[in-house]
Structure 1
Amino acid sequence: MRIVIPLYPHFTALDAVGPYEVLRLVPGAEVLFVAAEAGPVRADSGALAITADAALDEVDACDVLVVPGGPGSRRPPAALAPWLAKIHETTRWTTSVCTGALLLGAAKILDGLDATTHWGAVEQLEAFGARYLPDRVVFQDAHRVVTAAGVSSGIDMALALAARLTDQVTAEAVQLVVEYDPQPPFDRGAPAKASQPVRDRALEILRDASNE
């Protein structure tokens, strides 16, 4: 089972690495990172790079497509949207994390579908014809599409997808292997749970990160 994760400049590392750490443990999985060109691709911090082992034009099909988000999703390589549209025709599941949903939208994969993304990108998502849901993970089974909300929700999405690809016991075993048992020190991980000062500060952090 081939799982492909496309990278582009200024992607968010956890959007890609979170699902990678889960899905690589699915029995029979082969994970491939791709980009416009093979070689290292810098994440949004500039301090971390992941190596793409193949170029986009070297991959024409996969079983699972995982599209990470990040500031670069708003200015992706020109070849990415057409490639996503082409690959989507071959997949068992096409998925996104965070603002990776904007890339699926640009590829016309989300038109008319329920979807989620980072809470700060709702208007951009809906501009592509998707219906935003404030859920952590949204499955559109009839269309083979799964979208996850911001950054860390990619782990939840990957575990739920692992259950669809195998069975619940296997997915739960993978969860145990990575010891995913969230117990955050603060209960502010969703807009509805955050105070206005916290939301305002989060927007400041996002703006600063986008301008780096």
Structure 2
Amino acid sequence: MTNDSENTSSDEQPKSGGYSRRDALKLASVATLGAIVGGGALLGRATPALAKAAGAGMLSPADPLNIVIAVYPGGTLLDFAGPSEIFHRLPNTNVRYASLDGGYVTLEFGVRYGKTERLADIAKADMILVPGGSDLTVAMSPEYQAQIRRLAEGAKYVTSVCNGSLVLAATGVLKGKRSACHWAFVNKLSEYGAIPVPDRFVEDDNGRFMSGGGVTAGIDFALRVAGRLRGQQAAEFTQLLIEYDPAPPFHSGHPRDARPEVIAMVDKVLPGASKGLARVPGVR
């Protein structure tokens, strides 16, 4: 993706039948999943095993789930691109993207993303997701914080990926709550009254608060959210559909596995990272 690219791709371009490949995948995933977990007309009724799987989630397939992903300048695309791939494929789920001013947003590395809604125009959401970023200046501004606090206080589920948990914690909604964060920033959570947990996925308050670790952890996070809310069958179906079958070529994705010299390289560009106290623009 080039620096000025928008959130479009060849997958989005209509084919001769009027649908893009992404449209077809989405329609197929929702229709098939509905038939599997809902026991619709295609199957007549769900088998006992599948009916049990459908009931494993906190929500029934008929319950709507409205998700707002709150983006901002300097945010990291993969923090929310991964989760959105999963959330868009869940039954009866609507995903919206919003920012402080609406319109296009320039993310990390100059990626131009949009078009987003204005946060102030969204009355409420069932779930709010705050992704992380390399520059949290706007995300920590009083105006942005006020909108995040408002939506979080009315949401059933309050979630974050990477150092997006710092943004949530700064609003005060994570006070006394356990939360994940990117390993380089995780211990800064305590400065805002949250409880830092160096895990890839963390939940508190019976699942009302759910968070993922750094960047790529957003996919694991979203699958866990999907399983918790829509049931394991829905999560497994979506995981298979997007071929999430990770096989990293190097075991260097976390300080517990990385070689000391590689950790030292990260500490040079992010001082304090190995202590979980790295600083990012916008965070005092």
Both proteins in one fold, TM over 0.5: yes
Classify 1:6/1:55 alpha carbon distance in 2 versus 1 (closer, same or farther; 3 Å): same
1:150 aligns with 2:214: yes
Three-state SS of the structure 1 residue aligned to 2:136 is helix
Q: Which runs of 4+ in 1 moved over 3 A?
A: 203-207
CA contact (8 A) 2:69 2:130 kept: yes
Report matched runs for 1:172-187 at 5 Å. Answer: 172-187=236-251
The structural deviation recorded for 1:143 is: 6.5
Which letter maps to 1:78? P
Unaligned runs of 5+ in 2: 1-64, 272-279
Task: Tell me which moved more, 135-144 or 113-122.
Answer: 135-144
Q: 2:171 aligns with which of 107, 117, 126?
A: 107
Report matched runs for 1:164-203 at 5 Å. Answer: 164-203=228-267
1:26 is aligned to: 90
Which letter maps to 2:216? S
The structural deviation recorded for 1:158 is: 0.4
Higher Cα radius of gyration: 2
How far, CA to CA, are the matches of 1:143 and 1:20 in structure 2?
19
How far, CA to CA, are the matches of 2:207 and 2:83 in structure 1?
20
Number of equivalent positions: 208
CA contact (8 A) 2:169 2:192 kept: yes
1:118 is aligned to: 182
Which letter maps to 2:109? S
CA contact (8 A) 2:138 2:144 kept: no
1:161 aligns with 2:237: no
| Residue-by-residue CA offset, 1:86-133 (whole Å, 9 max, x unaligned) | 111222211100010001111111111111101111232110111211
1:17 aligns with 2:76: no
Q: 1:68 aligns with which of 93, 116, 131?
A: 131
1:98 aligns with 2:157: no
Q: 2:197 aligns with which of 133, 147, 161?
A: 133
Three-state SS of the structure 2 residue aligned to 1:71 is coil
Three-state SS of the structure 2 residue aligned to 1:26 is coil
2:114 is aligned to: 51
How far, CA to CA, are the matches of 2:115 and 2:228 in structure 1?
27
How far, CA to CA, are the matches of 2:250 and 2:244 in structure 1?
17
CA contact (8 A) 1:33 1:53 kept: yes
Task: Tell me which moved more, 1-10 or 85-94.
Answer: 85-94
How far, CA to CA, are the matches of 1:21 and 1:113 in structure 2?
27
Root mean square deviation of aligned Cα: 1.7
Task: Tell me which moved more, 198-207 or 25-34.
Answer: 198-207
The structural deviation recorded for 1:78 is: 2.6
CA contact (8 A) 1:95 1:145 kept: yes
1:82 is aligned to: 146
CA contact (8 A) 1:37 1:52 kept: no
How far, CA to CA, are the matches of 2:105 and 2:216 in structure 1?
20
How far, CA to CA, are the matches of 1:141 and 1:164 in structure 2?
13
Which letter maps to 1:87? L
When the two structures are superposed, what TM-score results if normalisation uses the length of structure 2? 0.69
CA contact (8 A) 1:94 1:144 kept: yes
How far, CA to CA, are the matches of 2:268 and 2:106 in structure 1?
23
How far, CA to CA, are the matches of 2:113 and 2:168 in structure 1?
21
2:60 is aligned to: none
CA contact (8 A) 1:74 1:102 kept: no
The structural deviation recorded for 1:75 is: 4.7
Unaligned runs of 5+ in 1: none
